[in-house]
Amino acid sequence: MIVLGLSSGTSVDAIDAAAADFHLGPDGVLRMRPLGHTEYEWPAALRERILKALPPAAVDMGEVTQLDTLIGQEFGRAGRQAIDDVAGGDVDLVASHGQTLYHWVVGARAHGSLQLGNAAWIAERTKRPVISDFRVADIAAGGQGAPLVSVLDALWLGRDPQSPDGAPAGLSAALNIGGIANVTLVGEVEAPVTGWDTGPGNCLIDLTARRLTGEPFDRDGALGAAGTVDQAALRALLDDPYFAAKAPKSTGRELFDATYVPRKLASVRPDLTGPDLVATLTELTAVTIAEGLLTVAQSIPADRRSASDAAEPQREVRRVVVSGGGAHNPTLLARLRAYLPRDCELLTADQLGMPIDAKEAYLFALLGFLSAHGVAGTAKGVQRRRSTGARRAAVLGSLTPPTPLVWPAFTGPIRRLVLANTPFGLAPMPKGTHR
């Protein structure tokens, strides 16, 4: 089954598209063959309207309605083009995340999440069924609705003691540094995982770089490398209840908006600017990621560990696998490296076969595949919850048009995800494979 995933992140950089061919064998191994990925720039005027509508802006319903239509039409154009560009015209299903406008969190609980880009426009343009609106079902089940990538991370990076796939003992941390950074801590295959948003990824850096240079981001981390971290400012920025809150948790531009840095620094460093400010914000991202993942790793309950791991340092993070735009920032990666244990490997997702700029789009292709077959789109978490904190597993998304799907529901478990472009994914498809 070939699924096209479409996504646009909180940075509103572009519409990302990725197509993958999925085969599930009777052994519970899901093989994903990436067919290709690309991105399509937003029309400048529409991108500006989206950015102006993000928090803390107050937007009337007329603008929301227009954006829902215009974003849906643009996703439809991108989807139609991507079917030819990356899938050779052969796609069975489109999975669209849309564009997040608002993620509603109060305290430790998520109450809703709004992604614009009406799926009817995408279905009309692509002439394919579309699954969209992936987050709300998890929120209705008591979850955060984010980060949803934990299901991909758990299936992809889970260590199988019976398979010499090179995964180290202990924990792997799948880190995606987009506008907001998120982490999934993964141990053995089918073991519970923990996923959460660590806080700002690129969003505060991007806002500052844009104001200082007109560039949409700190290209090659040059500004951050040229500056010096202001320790007083860093302490003020770290003094936020979100960083101390327990995982699973989620956040967005609703908290880390354009007013966040001026508000936090007003009483300590109101005049901090230039490369020193970018260096400080880069340090903030690195510190909150590293401290967050190491703290959560140490809090893993004993019942999460299997008997085979009893003698292993199962609570130690042994590798961090980075994806997203932040993976292109060498200054940020160097500062993150400085906060990680010496025996913890830091590598990028493409070193394991997953393109760093397309992981989110491939995620939604995977979620579309799972939903089309009636499979829950969240990973098993601790304390009988899902990785998002939900009380139960939920099949994610809504189908447009609402017609019966031709693909059968899966009844057995999916144990692992193997990328077919890696040495361990090149085995022949087992007999009885679903397509």
What is the per-residue pLDDT across 1-18, written as a single tens digit (0 to 9) for each? 999 999 999 889 899 999
- Mean pLDDT for all residues in the chain: 92
Q: What is the pLDDT at residue 313?
A: 54
Mean pLDDT of 150-159: 95
Q: What is the pLDDT at residue 251?
A: 96
Q: What is the pLDDT at residue 367?
A: 98
Q: Phi/psi of residue 348, each to 5°?
A: -95, 155
Q: What is the pLDDT at residue 55?
A: 92
Q: What is the pLDDT at residue 423?
A: 61
> Which DSSP symbol is given to 384?
T
Span 362-394, pLDDT tens digits: 999 999 999 999 999 999 999 889 999 999 999
Q: What is the pLDDT at residue 160?
A: 81
Q: What is the pLDDT at residue 425?
A: 52
Distance from C-alpha of 240 to C-alpha of 288, rounded to nearest angstrom:
11
289 contacts 314 by C-beta, under 8 angstroms: no
Q: What is the pLDDT at residue 305?
A: 44
Mean pLDDT of 17-24: 97
204 contacts 260 by C-beta, under 8 angstroms: yes
Q: Three-state SS for 176?
A: strand
Q: What is the pLDDT at residue 383?
A: 87
| Cα Rg of the chain (Å, integer) | 21
- Quick check: 310 pLDDT over 60? no
Q: What is the pLDDT at residue 306?
A: 47
Mean pLDDT of 143-151: 96
Q: Three-state SS for 140?
A: helix
Mean pLDDT of 397-414: 90
% residues pLDDT > 70 (the chain): 92
Distance from C-alpha of 363 to C-alpha of 135, rounded to nearest angstrom:
13
Distance from C-alpha of 25 to C-alpha of 4, rounded to nearest angstrom:
21
Query: Comparing 52-61, 95-104, 115-124, 424-433, which segment has the lowest mean pLDDT?
Result: 424-433
Mean pLDDT of 91-97: 98
Amino acid at 32: M
Span 164-193, pLDDT tens digits: 566 777 899 999 999 999 999 999 998 999
Q: At 408, is the pLDDT very low, low, confident or very high (cuts 50, 70, 90)?
A: confident
252 contacts 100 by C-beta, under 8 angstroms: yes
Q: At 314, is the pLDDT very low, low, confident or very high (cuts 50, 70, 90)?
A: low
Q: What is the pLDDT at residue 138?
A: 97
Q: Phi/psi of residue 247, each to 5°?
A: -80, 150
- Quick check: 32 pLDDT over 80? yes
Pairing label, strands 2-8, 14-24: antiparallel
Span 333-362, pLDDT tens digits: 999 999 999 999 999 999 999 999 999 999
Residue with tokens 């260590």: 159
Q: What is the pLDDT at residue 166?
A: 61
Mean pLDDT of 59-72: 98
Mean pLDDT of 256-265: 96
